[in-house]
Amino acid sequence: MTLASGLFGAFVGLGLQFSSNTIRKLHLWRRPWEHLVLVGIGAWCGHNYPRWEDELLDSVNRMRVDRKLPPLKKAFWGVQVTTQGPPEE
């Protein structure tokens, strides 16, 4: 999964640089090192995104345990939210 998310991040970084140059009406490959920097930043963010998502889910579940709510489960596309309300006291 991290290889796919890293590649997706790299393409997003490259697309950002291309769209920036297009909006400013510059040659698309005006400064090639900027493309490499944004591809690297995008790949790094894309590679680390699944870990950040898991850490956020753990943090939210710790807060939900403190409030006596059932934990959220990780689904394939995002988080599966329960339809159950807060427990009655």
Q: What are the pLDDT digits (tens) for 54-69?
A: 899 999 999 999 999 8
Decide if 80 is inside a domain: no
Q: How far is CA 72 from the centre of its chain?
A: 18
Type of residue numbered 87: P
Q: Model pTM?
A: 0.68
Q: Return the pLDDT at 83.
A: 58
8 A C-beta contact, residue 9 and residue 49: yes
Domain-embedded: residue 89: no
What are phi and psi for residue 85, nearest 5 degrees? -85, -175
> Is residue 28 domain-resident?
yes
28-56: per-residue pLDDT in tens?
888 888 888 989 999 999 889 889 988 99
35 domain residue, yes or no: yes
Residue 29, strand partner residues:
none
Structural domain containing residue 57: 2-74
Q: How far apart, in Å, are the Cα atoms of 20 and each of 4, 40, 42, 46?
A: 24, 17, 15, 20
Domain count, the chain: 1
